[in-house]
Amino acid sequence: MIKSYLVGDTEHDYEVARAMHADCILIANGHQSKARLQALGVPVLDDIRSLVH
């Protein structure tokens, strides 16, 4: 089975991922604060370059 991921920087991106039944990874250097994104219970990275690691 192939996993689908949505990478975004807003609460709305998280909502879209849920609607698509995809996992979500959020980046905290965008439109919303890290604390707000962390409250959603999904991985939150400080920088998109962290995806490589």
Q: How many domains does the chain fold into? A: 1
Counting beta carbons within 10 angstroms of the beta carbon of residue 43, is it exposed (0 to 12), middle (13 to 18) or buried (19 or more)?
Answer: middle
pLDDT in tens, 11-36: 999 999 999 999 999 999 988 999 99
Q: Does residue 37 sit within a domain?
A: yes
Residue 20 lies in a domain: yes
Domain that holds residue 28: 5-48
Cut 0.75: pTM above it: yes
Q: Is residue 53 part of a domain?
A: no
Helix intervals (H) in 1-53: 11-19, 34-38
Residue 44 pLDDT > 90? yes
